[in-house]
Amino acid sequence: MPAERFVTALNDQVAAEFAASHQYVAIAAYYESITLPQLAGFFYRQAVEERGHALMMVKYLLDTSSPVALGPIDAPRTDFTDHIAPIELALEQERAVSGRISELFEVARGEGDYLSEQFVQWFLKEQVEEEATMSELLEVAERVRELPMTLEEFIAREGPGQQGADPNAPEAAGG
């Protein structure tokens, strides 16, 4: 069984991943409401991905006979000043997640919990990709601020965040 401190921290991260998914659904709904379907689709896919991350963590807890303690999540932000604000929020969120994943790694290492440390390594790699995708999207959005349809075209053409399933990803609960 993983170290108790790691189990507590991972359960907290499960809630954070579900909260991130919830926030991405809110962002997607915002974009859909202002008729930006490519942005909406991008964030709906991100929501599914974050939910998947939470379920990977749940599966690890179950596989290691650790308690799964699903905590509450806050309501997502739904009011935005313009079409760029949600992307800024998403980048902030990804940076915060990267910090929390790094803390999970530190807890596992500090506790000598090498199996949990190995489990977290995939998420560290994933966060590099997540931050890079959001940073790129924000750069393009700011560059074409006055022409949001150009951002829509960029998403349709480039397909950011659509690398496909990673065969090295941990298994998700229910998967």
29: CATH: 1.20.1260.10
Give the pLDDT of residue 101. Answer: 97
Residue among 83, 81, 84, 126 at smallest CA distance from 102: 126
C-beta separation of 42 from 160 below 8 A: yes
| pTM for this model (two decimals) | 0.93
Residue numbers of the domain that contains 12 = 4-158
**Does residue 35 form part of some domain?**
yes
- Residues 16-39 have pLDDT tens digits of 999 999 999 999 999 999 999 999
**Does residue 142 form part of some domain?**
yes
**Rounded to the nearest 10 degrees, how much is the dihedral formed by the CA atoms of 166, 169, 173, 175?**
30
- Residues 91-149 have pLDDT tens digits of 999 999 999 999 999 999 999 999 999 999 999 999 999 999 999 999 999 999 999 99
Give the pLDDT of residue 160. Answer: 82
Q: How many structural domains are present in the chain?
A: 1
**Does residue 56 form part of some domain?**
yes
**Does residue 169 form part of some domain?**
no
Give the pLDDT of residue 169. Answer: 85
**Does residue 166 form part of some domain?**
no
